[in-house]
Amino acid sequence: MSKRTIMLVCSAGMSTSLLVTKMQKAAQNKKIVAEIFAVSASEADQQVASKIIDVILLGPQVRFMKGKFEEKYGLKGIPIDVINMTDYGRMDGEKVLEQAEKIMNKL
């Protein structure tokens, strides 16, 4: 299985850091090779320009930006979704990883 890159986006890039850690642990437990990281919305362009991103997950607090992200990155073939608010609130790394997997498996 090839390495997957999952980018989480939130308003400041900090509130998702705990979720990233939990997702990394869930990926390790499932033997999934993935780079999972979080950035602020303002840093997203730089990350997309510098690496291949397989999926972008938006934190619920920036869900209003989904249309803007789809316009910018949809043409590059990067799927974008909003993290389920309950899973985000619970910091359920396993559920959010499953959400990312489902999106990537559709490709």
Is 48 a residue of the active site? no
Find tokens 């789809």 and name the residue: 70
Q: Are 60 and 83 in contact (CB under 8 A)?
A: yes
| Residue listed under structure tokens 């803007």 | 68
Neighbours of 83 (CB within 10 A): 25
- Alpha-carbon distance 72 to 25, whole Å? 30
Q: What angle do CA 85, 59, 8 make, to 5 degrees?
A: 130
Say which of 10, 32, 57, 78 is annotated catalytic: 10
Catalytic positions are 10
